[in-house]
Amino acid sequence: MANIDDKQLDKMVADIASIKSVIDKNQGLFQDMLLPQHFRVFSFFMGIAVIVFSMTIFFLQIRYGSWVAAPQAAKAIVYGALVVCWIVAAFLKWSRWGRGLMKINRAYTLTRAVEQFFSFRIVHVYMPLVGIGLILSFYLYHNNLAYYIICAISILMGLIYNFLGSFAGSRQWLVGGYWLMLSGLCLLLLDPIPAPIAVAMSPGCGLLAFAFVSDREN
């Protein structure tokens, strides 16, 4: 094997330093993108909304015997309010995320953040979990096992939260992730409870748990 001279060694060291610099720069960007503070208001709003809608549907089921039997006017109000909540939630998420990134570094545009979030090394972890959730939900619904869709979605959400927390080095994401996974497993293993209560207990409270700890330091 040919001996490596000093110039070649210096070039190798420089190349390694350059690669490390790029990795460190991207890692810093990902950590800034995934700061829990960016998503605190969104998660709090969504947690409250999920719980309120779940309890409203549960009340209508108790009052009229089933959701199908509830008055059309009441269901229309629920559906309309749900659409409004989704619009507000989307606005809160994107606006606060964009403003938060700009405060850290004006080069962190929302477009750049989205491009980085769907980069090669992230998309191959994030998107398969989303795809599995959709396919599994369809399968369960098709086989009249709709209750277990709640369990599956909670567990898969928890896996995504834990991935984000591990990638960003953030304990707050892990708090929400473990709540979602453990509560989803409890719903799966214990006797089924009313679906609206299950939704409030797992995704609803999981979002609130994340919101409550998201303003603390890692």
Collect all residues with Cβ–Cβ distance below 8 Å to 55 and sequence separation of at least 6: 196, 200
Phi/psi zone of residue 76: left (φ > 0), alpha (ψ -120 to 50 degrees), beta? alpha
Measure the CA–CA gap between 135 and 153, rounded to whole angstroms. 11
Confidence of residue 208 (pLDDT cuts 50, 70, 90): very high
What pLDDT, on the 0 to 100 scale, is given for residue 116? Answer: 64
Q: Taking the domains of the chain in order of start, what are their residue ranges?
A: 36-213
Give tens-digit pLDDT for 17-62: 444 444 444 556 667 777 888 888 899 999 999 999 999 999 999 9
